[in-house]
Chain A
Amino acid sequence: MKPPAFDYEAPTSLAEALALKARHGEDARFLAGGQSLVPAMNFRLVRPAVLIDLNGVADLDHLSCSSSGALGIGALVRHARVESDREVARHQPLLVEAIREVAHPQVRNRGTLCGNLAHADPASELPAVMVALKAQLHAVSIRGERSIPAADFFQGTYTTALEPDELLARVQLEPLPTGTGTAFLELARRPGDYAMMGVAVLLQLDASGACTDARVVCCGAGDRPVASAATAAVLRAATPGSDPVALEALCEAAGAALAASIDPPGTVHVTADYQRHLAQVLAARAIAMAFGRAAAHSPRRSI
């Protein structure tokens, strides 16, 4: 099992890397962590004529977190760095919670967020998280730079909105407002495996405790992250308050709405019916967690 022959380029500047991609287009692939691309090359599922290794482009190894919690993650920032950064954990806990579920420590030492997103595996956790967080994905090319909302970036299995000459250079996350609660839950056959189903939840509570915004996004439920408007509609305007029975009923109703609104494909490891069941159970649990966390950060502390 060896990859087919290719030419290797190791640019040391972004301009040089983009010029190479512009010249070679779809025949070339960028190499950052290589934790998805190299396995695919070893299986000969992907046969780039040229690999453009970004590891020498220092500008891309940039992780910035503003005091307000806005986060910029460059194309060379490894999962392990995001996972262990205290500021990221404080401001974007959903991202950290999900990254811990991505593969294994050795893979997270090399793999990058941008690379994961550009690979666009629908079973991966991080595209769903990007949609839930309304991330802006910054694509650059020799023609310039543009920002793509996460919801528009993922266009199908291994398919993104990137043009053949573009690099996903940076992910930008805006700070979460006060009163936001998030949670990510998945079930995999073994730790580090692709999840049979995963659910990312973001809830926004106002000062009265009413839910003003809700996002529930699944991974593994389709050919791209699947955001359920029906589930969000159940949650939006709900005021679960401090009554645990009412909260449980709301979470279960939301889970049922999610199960009814998705059409998962099933895999060799898991039937579509079981995926739907998992979505229901995981969503109910994740929503309960997110409500708890939102209340803990609410402008009106629950009494």
Chain B
Amino acid sequence: MAARQYPIRVTVNGTEREAEVEARLLLSDFIRHRLGLTGTHVGCEHGVCGACTILHDGVPARACLLFAVQTHGHSIETVESLGTPERLHPLQAAFRACHGLQCGYCTPGILMTMKAFLEQHPDPDEAAIRKALSGNLCRCTGYQNIVAAVSRAAAMAKEGA
């Protein structure tokens, strides 16, 4: 029996995309397998690790806890929306400068979480950054350099302003 397909229209990184999806298709799998945007990583698939964090209507959310069909009429942003290798987003530049990643698996989720966080809290202290990072697991860095990178990104944004 062919599974029922649902038509969706969703804005992904500013571009409208149309697709037919099975209801049970997770947004994380839709992004990776159907759209080919493999920057969004999949870790635990039950909302704990944060690797798949994307922006849903501008707000950080777990892509593994949303169904693609639910994004009909909404907008999502993935890590591909940030910068390019030639022209890094300030957050990405700060992570590179501060060595805020090692294996990089958790990084896309952290960048998307921090993008929204810095927009709301342009001048965060270290405690606030650590709290905002609490939903993103990193097994490599011990977080020190991630915190430093977020502070650097905030400072860069202020200098640039």
A residues engaging B (CB < 8 A)?
Answer: 1-8, 10, 31, 34-35, 38-39, 41-43, 51, 53, 55, 80, 103-107, 109-110, 190-192
Contact = CB atoms under 8 A, between A and B. Distances in A.
Contacts of B47: 35, 38-39, 103, 107
Nearest to A51: B23
B46 interface: yes
A1 B66 contact: no
State the 6 A-B residue pairs at the shortest beta-carbon distance, nearest first: A104-B135, A8-B23, A39-B46, A38-B65, A106-B60, A3-B24
A2 B61 contact: no
Contacts, number: 85
A38 B45 CA distance: 9
Given A35-B47, A38-B47, A6 B23 contact: yes
A6 B135 CA distance: 29
Chain B interface size range: 20 to 34
Contacts of A106: 50, 53, 60-62, 113, 135
B69 interface: yes
Kindly name the residue among B59, B67, B69, B117 whose own CB sees the greatest number of chain A CB atoms within 10 A: B67
A215 B72 CA distance: 45
Kindly name the residue among B47, B134, B136 whose own CB sees the greatest number of chain A CB atoms within 10 A: B47
27 contacts: A1-B46, A2-B29, A5-B22, A5-B23, A5-B24, A6-B24, A7-B23, A10-B72, A31-B70, A34-B65, A34-B66, A38-B65, A53-B70, A80-B59, A103-B47, A104-B50, A106-B50, A106-B53, A106-B61, A106-B62, A106-B113, A107-B62, A109-B56, A110-B56, A110-B61, A110-B65, A110-B66
A105 B132 contact: yes
